[in-house]
Chain A
Amino acid sequence: MYAQMVKSAGTGVKSREEMTDQERDFQDKIDADIKIEPRDWMPDDYRATLIRQMGQHAHSEIVGQLPEGNWITRAPTLERKAILLAKVQDEAGHGLYLYSAAETLGVTRDELTEMLLDGRMKYSSIFNYPTLNWADIGAVGWLVDGAAIMNQVPLQRTSYGPYSRAMIRICKEESFHQRQGYDAIRKMAEGTVAQKKMAQDALNRLWYPSLMMFGPSDKDSVHSAQSMAWKIKINTNDELRQKFVDQTVPQIKFLGLDLPDDAIVWNEETSQHDYTDPDWNEFFDVIKGNGPCNVDRLAARNKAWDDGAWVREGLMVHAQKKAAAKLAAE
């Protein structure tokens, strides 16, 4: 999940009696699965929460280019290099759709970017972990895109029209990424001793960070309840995490890799896998900025932005000159 711990604005779900007429009409539309469009009236808190959530999602796509970009120049074959380039290009495209969708709520891409760069807004904790061997690229596609899909498939039904449409477009590409990632790691799991070691190492390192992507348990959170009532969150974090574990464990076995957690076992009673929860202290450390790559990631994005200032300014001034010349010619 690319949006973690997004705090809904406001004080929690209101009862129908507490709602104004406008709020009641709005909630009725959502309950009837009628999409909210940019020009429709919406509560300020709904708007603010969506901006946080979509912005965080967009930022994750952008920062997510970095750990994968780390291997583009070292991809082992031309085909793998092409696949990775295409994937990273898609991720930047996802960032673009999501920023555009967020802009319909009255915030600009530049404003959102500034908030990412100065740390006011977050991106998914997963991208603060390093990619250390080539199998990590397979594992990122398989596990990270896989976890993102778990969250984003239900969000195709989210109440906000532009967000829902962005999710539909993005989900198609994400499932493609996941298959390609799985294919890359399968090739390694079936490969030489060294390749198998890389695959196992990638799985072991990225397993818990992938589980953290869904965020800590939120079954008792007021924020979650409000987001769910607004249908900008469809499932609880625990539901999605469990689904992810249940989907992924058979895939790990199929690859012939060792399970990254000794406690993983099929539970006949619950008809799902038991597993060990990630270390939430580590998660909160990462969120606070103390993950292995937080400083590098933000520094890289800040450097790209600062170094690129003259380019953005140059192109803008040129566009203004062109517009003025066109006006003068009319």
Chain B
Amino acid sequence: MANVDQQALFQFLLRMGDNTLVLGHRVSEWCGHAPVLEEDIALANTALDLIGQTQFWLGLAGEVEGKGQDADALAFRRDVWDFRNFLICEMPNGDFGQTLMRQFLFDAWASVTLAHLQKSSDERVAGIAAKASKEVAYHLERSSDTIVGLGDGTAESHDRMQAALEYLWPYVGEMFASDDVDANMVAAGIATDPAGLRGEFDAIITRVLTQATLNIPQSTFAHKGGRDGSIHTEHLGHLLTSMQWLQRVYPDASW
């Protein structure tokens, strides 16, 4: 893979790994506080899968970068401006409805994206995608069921889910905005152009949200900046403050 732009590949892998890292962290904040025991278990399981995927993506990112950074160094020693996750992943948990809506939108994106990545020209990427796909298929099934159950539940649960959808909708567009890194990945046969995946994503969410009796917002406005690190929300810094604290205070320790 001599002609693959290693810098672009590194950026692409950071995007994949930072998404799962930041979202996994958010989901793990629920531990012990979920509405019902089965959800405590499911949320812990989702977080666990996402952190596991992070180990693969960031591990490979460190290899590609070739500066001796492992997944932990990338996760715990970078500052906000180096993070490449979608803004939606760093959005606060809010109520359970907001957490599940964020999860559903991410799962739908991930299932579509990983399906394509399994055909990547880079075997390492294809391998991680194949493993993650199985987990994400289960996450999507579960989050879809919950979205339908709560959307088409009581008047209160419906209204909360509609509010969550409207709150998060401006963060959907970023998942499908292509840039130079993507063009590089497409040219190398490593990944598909995100813009081309929107149709498949829309098909999934339209089916589920309709069943959930929720209205898909018409606005096409999209907040961007997470994926290229140009601008994050204020929330990410706080998340990193707790996540990275031990590694930062005791830089010489190994755990």
Task: Name A residues whose Cβ lies closer than 8 Å to a Cβ of B.
Answer: 62, 65-66, 68-69, 72-82, 85-86, 88-89, 92-93, 95-96, 99, 109, 134, 184, 187-188, 191-192, 194-195, 300, 303-305, 307-319, 321
Contact = CB atoms under 8 A, between A and B. Distances in A.
Contact of B51 (A78, A308, A314): A78
Overall SS of chain B's interface: helix
A96 B154 CA distance: 26
Interface residues of B, number: 52
Contact of B35 (A62, A134, A192, A308): A308
Contacts of B95: 307
Given A85-B48, A89-B45, A95-B37, 15 more contacts: A65-B32, A73-B242, A74-B242, A74-B243, A76-B246, A77-B247, A81-B28, A82-B51, A85-B31, A300-B33, A311-B35, A315-B150, A318-B149, A318-B150, A318-B153
Interface in B139-174: 146, 148-150, 152-154, 156-158, 160
B203 interface: no
A318 B148 contact: yes
B239 to A, nearest CB: 8
Contacts of A78: 21, 51, 54-55, 58, 71-72, 75
B245 interface: yes
Contacts, number: 150
A315 B158 CA distance: 11
A38 to B, nearest CB: 21
21 contacts: A65-B40, A73-B28, A73-B29, A77-B72, A78-B21, A78-B55, A78-B75, A92-B40, A96-B38, A96-B41, A109-B37, A303-B33, A307-B95, A309-B35, A310-B156, A310-B160, A311-B157, A312-B35, A313-B153, A313-B154, A317-B154
B47 interface: yes
B44 A92 contact: yes
B3 interface: no
Contact of B149 (A74, A308, A319): A319
Nearest to A191: B253
Contacts of B153: 313-318
B41 A82 contact: no
B2 interface: no
Contacts of A72: 28-29, 31, 47
Contacts of B255: 76-77, 80, 134, 184, 187-188, 191
B218 interface: no
Contacts of B72: 77-79
Contacts of A73: 25, 28-29, 242-243
Contacts of A319: 149
Contacts of B242: 73-74
Contacts of A304: 32-35
B157 A308 contact: no
Nearest to A316: B153
Given A76-B247, A78-B55, A313 B157 contact: yes
Nearest to B26: A73
Contacts of A300: 32-33
